[in-house]
Structure 1
Amino acid sequence: MKKPVIVVLLSISLFAVQCKNQEGKNEIVPSKEIVLKNVSTDSLLDKPVIIKRSNLKFKDSTKYPVLTSGNTIYPLQVSDIDQDGVWDEIFLVANFAPNETKHLELKWTEASKLPEYTKRTSARFGKRETEDEPVEPATGETLTKNDMPAKQGFQKYQTDGPSWENDKVGFREYLDGRYSKDVFGKRIPDISPENVGINKDTAVEDNYHVMEDWGRDILAVGNSVGLGGFGLIVNETVHRLGALVTDTVSNVELTRFKIQEEGPVKSVLTFNYQDWCVGGNMYDVEETTTIWPGIYGFKNTVKISGLQGNEQLAVGLVNINNQNPLQEIKVNDDWVVLITHDHQTYEREWILGLALILPRDAYLGYMEAPKTGKLTDSFLAKLNIQNSKPISYYAMAGWELSQEERFADPEFFKQYVIDTAEQLSAEVEVEIN
């Protein structure tokens, strides 16, 4: 009579153990370690590292990652790349010795308990709707081809459009229809004051062409597209994106701008130019501008839809106060650089090195912009561009009064640009445990 009871009890016990094992197999074991390996023989400074959310394991989606190594906390931010409200990747910058491997502990915490990281990047935009209204901070804007200062009779935007900076250098885009890119020289690592471009009455004011403790606007742009701005070459004819400051109508039907992300180690701005009319053709352009710490420059990504096959992207390197020859250097299989170095600031007061780092597989040489027309005063890098396929390049600026005074030496600046291109090619392997 007892044997059947024993069998039943054993069966129940085995079933319970089996269920427990099955439950154990289904249980998520959170990722606890990130291993980063510099596979190059170069030292890397503030090297960007991206860790995809899809490669991580974690139980609580409401918590956020923290990376540490001993007592060192690595500043990072999470990025929502597709703008769906859920972050997609971790972004950080780190220094590496040649072939160095870093073992970082990964922890998860509530948003309220995240470390306060030093702010090393920023994106800023302010606007007003009428001349009498105060400038208010904003994160985006939509403007039509008729929203030109020459037609409205006043400047709507703080610093003529959005600005972005890191601990080394700053930039701005003329969102008022010109779409050129300008340079703010920085003398200190701190982020520039929030009132750059507005006065004590919160009205738009050009107060950044005089030297302040933080720095100033240093680049003469004129009718160029500045540093890293772009146009289109169609059948050997150069066409400007947008218009000049004296124009009342732009050649872009609708422009949308957004500060997509601003954080301690990365800031991202997006620009969408809809129905850009060039020679009877209509193009749509998506532009993404990204800056991270430690680099005297920014990354720019451009995607154009509507290409017919007879176009080239023209990336600008302003040529107003430069009196020295442009240098073209093939750095490696990935990058070609164009460099100028001279007293390129206003009234040729200071030495400024400028450069473009361009994808070698798309590079088709360079040309000088026409002497007359809507886009002048520039060297133009010619890039092969495919329909609806993004292409990325970098714009660099080294001012002699920046934190790196050796930029006054043309050989030092040239080597800095070359080293930066090499660092962009260097790979950091990511292993998640």
Structure 2
Amino acid sequence: MTKDRKTFLKNITWAVVGACVVYGCASQGAPRDRSITLALSNPLATAREEVVTVSVPEDIEVRGKVLKTGFYQSGQGQIECVDLDGNGLVDQLYASIKLGANESVSFDLLKDLIPITDQSQKKTQAELSVMKGGQWNGRKYEGGTGFVNVDHLRVADEHTDHSFDIRYEGPGWENEQIGYRFYLDWRNAMDIFGKKVDTLVLQQVGQDGFDSYHEDSPWGMDVLKAGKTLGIGSIGQFVAGTVEHFEQTDSVLCHITLNGNISSIIDTRYYGWATSVDKMYLESTLKIDTKDRAVEHQIKLDQMVSGFCTGLVKKPDVEKLESLVEANGWAYIATYGQQSLAGDNLGLAIVFNAKDVDYVKEAEKDHVVVFKPTTEKFSYYLLGAWEQEKNGITTKEAFKTYLNGKVERLNNPVIAKVVW
């Protein structure tokens, strides 16, 4: 064999090896056509615009098809590819999509996505902000050099209401329409930040004075007085006609799981929550999407708990609204009227799946939704609508129309499938 021929064969060999490394060899089962298609279908005879959550099959990585985390534009809408479990692989897709009546669309997640770098396209956020540089004096946190956002927090044993260690007293989350928060203390109540603007504002709330957000400002204000009630969608246990809150826990951990562009998520773990009748471990996951006032609240309990509940604050002279409840389907209870701290109209609602609910009850201070005992995950939605929102809901009739549309979409979800 000539020297030239040996050199030629050597080069061919290394070329083949290189091709296998870069593209994957057929003998290893890797496909020639690298594509991942997301197919979405609207079963309703009406148009819809919402965020669709899609779990990514694990074997996409095994097949050598790797999605990249990031925020993208496609011809059909915006897509956020997220690695929630931190293993380096995309496991969730959030697709902000507009679909016509009975419309089906599909696009290639590897070829049809263009990265979005414009920060103004961020439409949701979640944050948890704590004071640094100070010290505890009894149950108050004194001094400090300023608030700093953190992703994780074990709530201090000293913490209670008005301890001044957490900006606006707990985590907050928002989209372009509305903001929410809940207290990381014995009240554990959820509250609403009504917004007059369609930009993100939580980063400035409570920076110029601990509770300045109770006063009207150009961005909006705290519009709901929760007090010792369930506020909007808070959780508790209904015992002997009374709602018991999270007054006693061994420890509480809060985690900003996703501060995303079109979806944001907060996870909270309650260890040793004790009421007068039970002691339990509870996982709470709150998720907000762009273009939707509703917050999904997913619950997981470690034991069968009778009387586990959520609900709405009950205000005098404010009308209660209810949808028809079928055996297996989504429904709502709501209130609408002059119940905001600004003295104007505010709508509040809980949207629940009838299969998860034991009964709906009137208590002294709350409209209560009591869930069936279970150790399986279940979800409900909470939402508010303030009349001063930009292009917001301003009448009871419009609020009912919005709620009926939300229930219809939940009962007829977008059909999503990842194909490769």
TM interval, short-chain normalised: 0.7 to 0.9
Q: Relative to structure 1, is the Cα distance of residues 66 and 212 closer, same or farther in structure 2, using a 3 angstrom cutoff?
A: closer
Q: 4+ residue stretches of structure 1 with deviation over 6 A?
A: none
Q: Deviations over 1:320-350 (max 9, x none)?
A: 3x41332221265411200101101116x11
Cα separation, 2, equivalents of 1:289 and 1:64:
21
1:27 to 27, 30, 33: 30
Offset of residue 221 of structure 1? 1.0
1:189 to 188, 198, 219: 198
Offset of residue 144 of structure 1? 5.1
Answer whether contact 1:32 1:107 (CA < 8 A) is retained: yes
SS of corresponding position for 2:230? coil
Counterparts of residues 317-396 of structure 1 (less than 5 Å): 317-320=312-315, 322-330=316-324, 333-346=328-341, 349-370=343-364, 377-386=365-374, 388-396=375-383
Cα separation, 2, equivalents of 1:125 and 1:383:
29
The one-letter code of the counterpart of 1:99 is N
Answer whether contact 1:352 1:399 (CA < 8 A) is retained: yes
Offset of residue 355 of structure 1? 0.7
Residue 430 of structure 1 pairs with residue 416 of structure 2 = yes
1:140 matched to which residue of 2?
152
Answer whether contact 2:214 2:221 (CA < 8 A) is retained: yes
Q: Identity, % of aligned pairs? A: 21
Cα separation, 1, equivalents of 2:157 and 2:324:
39
Residue 240 of structure 1 pairs with residue 244 of structure 2 = yes
The one-letter code of the counterpart of 1:229 is S
Offset of residue 303 of structure 1? 1.3
Cα separation, 2, equivalents of 1:331 and 1:43:
24
Offset of residue 205 of structure 1? 1.6
SS of corresponding position for 2:94? strand
Cα separation, 2, equivalents of 1:339 and 1:66:
35
Answer whether contact 1:174 1:181 (CA < 8 A) is retained: yes
Cα separation, 2, equivalents of 1:412 and 1:87:
39
1:229 to 234, 257, 260: 234
SS of corresponding position for 2:168? helix
The one-letter code of the counterpart of 1:128 is M
Q: Deviations over 1:82-116 (max 9, x none)?
A: 44453312111211111101132322699xx8322
Answer whether contact 1:314 1:383 (CA < 8 A) is retained: yes
Q: Deviations over 1:361-384 (max 9, x none)?
A: 1223322334xxxxxx22111111
Cα separation, 2, equivalents of 1:404 and 1:135:
32
1:268 to 236, 242, 265: 265
Offset of residue 228 of structure 1? 0.6
SS of corresponding position for 1:422? helix
Q: Deviations over 1:15-35 (max 9, x none)?
A: x9xxx9x94362333224332
2:7 matched to which residue of 1?
none
SS of corresponding position for 1:287? strand
Q: Relative to structure 1, is the Cα distance of residues 52 and 239 closer, same or farther in structure 2, using a 3 angstrom cutoff?
A: same
Answer whether contact 1:80 1:86 (CA < 8 A) is retained: yes
2:10 matched to which residue of 1?
none
Structure 1: 5+ residue stretches without partners: 1-15, 244-250, 371-376
SS of corresponding position for 1:227? coil
2:94 matched to which residue of 1?
91
Cα separation, 2, equivalents of 1:193 and 1:325:
30
1:248 matched to which residue of 2?
none
1:313 matched to which residue of 2?
308
2:386 matched to which residue of 1?
399
Offset of residue 414 of structure 1? 1.0
Cα separation, 2, equivalents of 1:325 and 1:171:
23
Counterparts of residues 277-292 of structure 1 (less than 5 Å): 277-292=274-289
Q: Relative to structure 1, is the Cα distance of residues 141 and 108 closer, same or farther in structure 2, using a 3 angstrom cutoff?
A: farther
Cα separation, 1, equivalents of 2:251 and 2:336:
36
Offset of residue 404 of structure 1? 3.4
Offset of residue 389 of structure 1? 1.4
Cα separation, 2, equivalents of 1:66 and 1:298:
21
1:171 matched to which residue of 2?
180
The one-letter code of the counterpart of 1:316 is G
The one-letter code of the counterpart of 1:50 is V
Question: TM-score, length-normalised on structure 1?
Answer: 0.81
2:115 matched to which residue of 1?
114
SS of corresponding position for 1:411? helix
Structure 2: 5+ residue stretches without partners: 1-15, 135-141
2:43 matched to which residue of 1?
39
Aligned length: 383
Residue 419 of structure 1 pairs with residue 401 of structure 2 = no
Cα separation, 2, equivalents of 1:96 and 1:82:
30
Residue 210 of structure 1 pairs with residue 215 of structure 2 = yes
Offset of residue 168 of structure 1? 0.9
SS of corresponding position for 2:279? strand
The one-letter code of the counterpart of 1:397 is G
SS of corresponding position for 1:159? helix
The range that moved more, 98-107 or 53-62, is 53-62
Answer whether contact 1:184 1:218 (CA < 8 A) is retained: yes
Offset of residue 56 of structure 1? 4.0
Cα RMSD (Å) of the superposition? 2.7
Offset of residue 62 of structure 1? 7.3
Cα separation, 2, equivalents of 1:82 and 1:63:
14
The one-letter code of the counterpart of 2:148 is E
Cα separation, 2, equivalents of 1:68 and 1:256:
35
Q: Relative to structure 1, is the Cα distance of residues 264 and 66 closer, same or farther in structure 2, using a 3 angstrom cutoff?
A: closer
Offset of residue 60 of structure 1? 6.0
